[in-house]
Amino acid sequence: MERVHHILASFPRERSLLITILEKAQEELGYLPPEAMEDIARHLRMSNSEVFGVATFYNFFRFIPAARHEIKICLGTACHVRLGDQIYDAVALELGVEAGQVTPDNKFSLERVACFGSCALAPVMVVDKTVYGRVTPSKARDILKRVDK
């Protein structure tokens, strides 16, 4: 947590800087562990729940160390209607993890996303920065097998 203290030392105790500080901490640590968010809360004289509430509102903050490959499944309205839940279930079963978890080999993380804004391609799965549209459960499993080969 020494790195967090170093970051905090460069910022005044202004609540308006919360997101900037969270971004800097994530950039330095790779994710936002609970201890870092507690230190940030103390520095800004905020409650832990306020800091956690802001951090969890934005989907670009992560709370677990990054895996080599990020798998994100859209479950927004268009994807949900086109059975996005089945895509999520197939991927979760294949990887043996649930949303917010990382596989034991640190190869994959799995996230549920409210919307990517690619509704015309629903259902959508994103692997790292590659968007896959009109995904089926079997196509999702095939995509996973091709990743990191």
> Cα–Cα distances in Å, from 110 out to 1, 8, 24, 69, 101?
26, 30, 23, 9, 6
Q: Does 1 have pLDDT greater than 80?
A: no
Q: Enter the pTM of the model.
A: 0.67
Q: Where are the domains of the chain?
A: 2-57, 69-146
How confident is the model at residue 103, as a pLDDT?
A: 95
For residue range 21-53, list pLDDT tens digits in order.
999 999 999 899 999 999 999 999 999 999 999
Model confidence band, residue 62 (pLDDT cutoffs 50, 70, 90): confident
State the average pLDDT for the chain. Answer: 94
For residue 29, which of 59, 56, 58, 6 has the smallest C-alpha distance? Answer: 6
CATH of 69-146 among 3.30.565.10, 3.40.1620.10, 3.40.50.1100, 3.40.30.10: 3.40.30.10
- At the topology level, CATH places domain 2-57 in Arc Repressor Mutant, subunit A (1.10.10)
The per-residue pLDDT for range 84-105, each reduced to its tens digit, is 999 999 999 999 999 989 999 9
